Chain A
């Protein structure tokens, strides 16, 4: 069953289209990562889903029905711009949320707070950005929701807390939960997401598993030879582009399998190969260029 389903979801602000014809489906029991650079429409998407802004066009169903106050009780939400009530302590804030959600039991919240090493007795105004983010995560999971919608959940977390959160998220999924989160950090998505959608300028340009996204992305390879090798040697190999030769070094970008490229290089006296893992920007660039070609 689809926990989240959108049809032609579109949001315009005046002449600016923040989101265009988004058809998003998030299945029960999966972690879906929404990737994209700033301003691509990630936050707009999540805020439309949570119903704080309304679509210009298109429809949203959650658990097969349109959003309602009752349904919000089954959802946990972490906003991108997290602001808490400064004068409340973490525990006060969780009790306040618990009252609104009719879920007074703070057991789950206390467990997660402990795992993230968050002190719930301090006023939120005194917390560091990272600790506030932890409290934001704790409140999102406090009422044991069936779905969590998280806008940049790892933002501000130290690596240790990030790892703990990712472990917790996996356990949450194994316990029957579903998660949609946004990020602009590929490594985060890589660790936790089952599927990834990339948003660029308001459009979903690709939707795939992380592994196949990376396989298709452009990687930069640098070969160091004991002799000078002409750039022309490598151009014409499928998937290889932007070949540059400087002295004994040849740099190029490649997408897909690297077999033929490496075999070609091995015909010369090859000293070293370095490969740069594609970062998100490369993947973005790749799809932006692809989209440019289509136009």
Chain B
């Protein structure tokens, strides 16, 4: 993978390459985007939305509850990742402090959130689950590559600020230098996208 800054032979290098460079983003992005795209769009496409909206809850409340459910799913998987990594790293003697592991896991989870929120927004705007997944996965892939390649190509470097992966700083977190400000920024961005999704869904014409 591109993000390997240290040799695979070292503990940190192994984790960067195999876990945080590949497995963690794949799983966490998959859950965030998959669940968020389902949130309103799947209910609409499967025709369960009419009945759901006939209940005395506001559409904003519905979107916020759905967003909270996605967040809960991401949190559960993140916690499982953290437990397995801390235990596994100790057992295998990878020599990475548990605090750094936790920070890296958290950063991996937080970077998935804006992409999940994007899927939520597109689902709320269009009612199309496939489109929500496609656009969000595309954006995630583009952002990931932009961040990874900018380490290799100087010409790309100024553009990497556009990538949430740059601000998440997973690899830096793993070596004891987490970017808390960047992570906070991603959380704020996620919040704005969720608010946008709620506003979009308030106006949405539910398909019959």
Contacts and interface: CB of A to CB of B under 8 A. Distances in A.
A53 interface: yes
Given A54-B205, A81-B208, A101 B56 contact: yes
A213 interface: no
Contacts of A139: 51
B152 interface: no
B208 to A, nearest CB: 6
Interface stretch (B4-12, B41-49, B143-151): B41-49
A32 interface: no
Nearest to A99: B55
Given A52-B49, A52-B50, A77-B51, A70 B56 contact: yes
Nearest to B50: A79
A177 B206 CA distance: 28
Interface in B43-87: 46-58, 61
Interface in A126-166: 139
Given A53-B206, A83-B47, A100 B53 contact: no
The 7 closest A-B pairs by CB, nearest first: A73-B56, A77-B54, A100-B55, A83-B47, A52-B206, A79-B50, A72-B56
Interface in B14-61: 46-58, 61
A50 interface: yes
Nearest to A54: B205
Nearest to A83: B47
Contacts of A100: 52, 55-57
Interface string A195-232: 00000000000000000000000000000000000000
A51 interface: yes
21 contacts: A47-B50, A47-B208, A50-B50, A52-B54, A52-B205, A69-B56, A71-B56, A72-B54, A72-B56, A73-B56, A77-B51, A79-B50, A79-B51, A79-B54, A81-B50, A81-B208, A83-B51, A84-B48, A84-B51, A100-B52, A101-B55
Chain A: number of interface residues, binned into ranges: 20 to 34
Nearest to A44: B208
Contacts of A81: 47, 50, 208
Nearest to A43: B208
Given A43-B208, A101-B55, 11 more contacts: A47-B206, A50-B50, A52-B49, A69-B56, A69-B57, A69-B58, A70-B56, A75-B54, A97-B55, A100-B52, A100-B56
A80 B155 CA distance: 57
Nearest to A98: B55
A53 B56 CA distance: 16
A47 B52 CA distance: 13
B54 A50 contact: yes
B51 A72 contact: no
A77 B55 CA distance: 9
A53 B13 CA distance: 54
Contacts of B52: 100
